[in-house]
Amino acid sequence: MPNPRLTRLGGGLFCGAAMVTLGCLDRLLLGASMTLYGGLFLLVSALTAVWVRRGDPVTPPVVVPIAFAAGLLPLAESGDGLAGRLAGLVTALATQAGWLYGGTLVAGALATGRKIRLMKRRGSLRGSLRGSFRGTLGRSLGGGPVRLRPSLRPGTGPDRPHGPDSPDGPASDPQRRLARDAV
Q: Does some domain include residue 56?
A: yes
Q: How many domains does the chain have?
A: 1
Q: Does some domain include residue 49?
A: yes
Q: Does some domain include residue 170?
A: no
Q: Does some domain include residue 166?
A: no
Q: Does some domain include residue 29?
A: yes
**Boundaries of domain holding 73:** 8-122
**pTM across the whole model:** 0.64
pLDDT per residue as tens digits for the range 52-70: 988 888 899 999 999 999 9
Q: Does some domain include residue 176?
A: no
Q: Does some domain include residue 132?
A: no
- Residue 76, number of CB atoms within 10 A of its CB: 24
Q: What is the DSSP letter of 149?
A: -
pLDDT per residue as tens digits for the range 96-110: 999 999 999 999 999
